[in-house]
């Protein structure tokens, strides 16, 4: 099940700055919208540089962070070595829908943020949802965030530029654009998984989910967010 994206992410740090901005904005929004509190047990799939953990580590009961990148897992473990309540675990890049490592745990909030665009197809997204249902507490919430719904990177870049001007992160924006253009990301960009709103609605119907599609949880204003209530 390996794909070129899981290879790409083994040591890709060019997006870290923009991810930090994105995650802080997102974390503030979900904290408020879903009343995230000291009772919550968070699962973060595709944790990257652990910015969600930076934000929530002292605010929730515990966080389990998973990633296919051993680089990110190691740096997370190092950064949070003083925290018993935050753990980082590696998932197999060749078998990334195998969640054996967390099979005995239950979570109240599950976050999959800017990750499913690296999956191969919508069937993998459906499999992810089924796997998350198994590790969700009754009444738990799965937030699949930052879903690319349309073709063409241009719209993404234009809207990000607008936000960069309004919120003062132009430098991070230009670093992001340069990295996207001059790293192997550029060759791979056509392989990003896009799921239209209609297809998201089909998934909801087909799987009989209690769910909603939300706007504006991240800095990518044109991307969508699928929130599922288990």
Ligand X SMILES: C[S@@+](CC[C@H](N)C(=O)[O-])C[C@H]1O[C@@H](n2cnc3c(N)ncnc32)[C@H](O)[C@@H]1O
**Binding segment (CB under 6 A) for ligand X, from list 42-50, 98-106, 129-137, 171-179:** 42-50
Contact status: 169 vs ligand X (CB under 6 A): no
Contact status: 108 vs ligand X (CB under 6 A): no
| CA distances from residue 162 to 19, 23, 155, 165, 221 in whole angstroms, order as listed | 17, 18, 11, 5, 10
Query: What span, in angstroms and rounded, lies between the C-alpha atoms of 62 and 208?
Result: 30
Contact status: 76 vs ligand X (CB under 6 A): no
CB nearer to ligand X: give 19 or 217: 19
CB nearer to ligand X: give 2 or 158: 2
Measured on CA atoms in the order 183, 97, 99, 107, is the torsion positive or negative? positive
One-character DSSP codes across 7-54: HHGGG--TTHHHHHHHHHHHHHHHHHHTT--TT-EEEEES-TTTHHHH
Contact status: 88 vs ligand X (CB under 6 A): no
The CB density around residue 102, as the number of other CB atoms within 10 Å, is: 19
Residue-level length of the chain:
230
**One character per residue 174-193, x = contact with ligand X (rule: CB under 6 A):** --------------------
Contact status: 80 vs ligand X (CB under 6 A): no
Contact status: 5 vs ligand X (CB under 6 A): yes
**Strand, coil or helix: 124:** helix
CB nearer to ligand X: give 108 or 114: 114
Looking at 114, 144, 169, 220, which residue binds ligand X (CB under 6 A)? 114
Contact status: 9 vs ligand X (CB under 6 A): yes
Query: What span, in angstroms and rounded, lies between the C-alpha atoms of 216 and 62?
Result: 26
Measure the CA angle with vertex 135, ends 129 and 141; round to 5°: 65
Looking at 55, 56, 80, 96, which residue binds ligand X (CB under 6 A)? 96
Query: What span, in angstroms and rounded, lies between the C-alpha atoms of 41 and 86?
Result: 10
Looking at 68, 129, 147, 200, which residue binds ligand X (CB under 6 A)? 68
Looking at 69, 87, 108, 225, which residue binds ligand X (CB under 6 A)? 69
Looking at 48, 86, 144, 226, which residue binds ligand X (CB under 6 A)? 48
Contact status: 40 vs ligand X (CB under 6 A): no
Query: How far apart are CB 4 and ligand X at their closest, in Å?
Result: 10
One-character DSSP codes across 147-206: E--SS-HHHHHHHHHHHHHHHT-HHHHHHHHHHHHHSTHHHHGGGS----HHHHHHHHHH
Q: Could you list the residues that contact ligand X (CB under 6 A)?
A: 5-6, 9, 15, 19, 22-23, 45-48, 51, 67-69, 72, 91, 96, 113-115, 118
């Amino acid at each position: 099940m390996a794909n070129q994206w899981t290879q790409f992410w083994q040591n890709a740090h060019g997006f870290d700055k923009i991810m930090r901005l994105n995650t802080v904005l997102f974390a503030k929004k979900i904290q408020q919208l879903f009343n995230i509190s000291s009772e919550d047990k968070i699962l973060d799939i595709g944790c990257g540089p652990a910015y969600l953990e930076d934000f929530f580590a002292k605010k929730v009961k515990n966080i389990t962070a998973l990633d296919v990148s051993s680089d990110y897992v190691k740096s997370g473990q190092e950064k949070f070595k003083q925290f018993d309540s935050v753990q980082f675990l590696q998932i197999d890049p060749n078998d990334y829908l195998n969640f054996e490592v967390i099979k005995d745990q239950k979570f109240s909030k599950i976050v999959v943020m800017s990750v499913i665009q690296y999956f191969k197809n919508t069937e993998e997204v459906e499999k992810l949802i089924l796997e998350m249902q198994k590790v969700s507490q009754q009444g738990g919430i799965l937030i699949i965030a930052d879903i690319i719904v349309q073709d063409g990177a241009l719209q993404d870049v234009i809207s990000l530029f607008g936000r960069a001007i309004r919120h003062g992160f132009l430098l991070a924006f230009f670093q992001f654009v340069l990295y996207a253009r001059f790293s192997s990301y550029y060759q791979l960009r056509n392989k990003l998984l896009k799921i239209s709103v209609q297809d998201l609605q089909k998934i909801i119907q087909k799987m009989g989910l209690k769910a909603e599609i939300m706007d504006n949880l991240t800095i990518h204003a044109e991307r969508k967010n699928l929130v599922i209530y288990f």
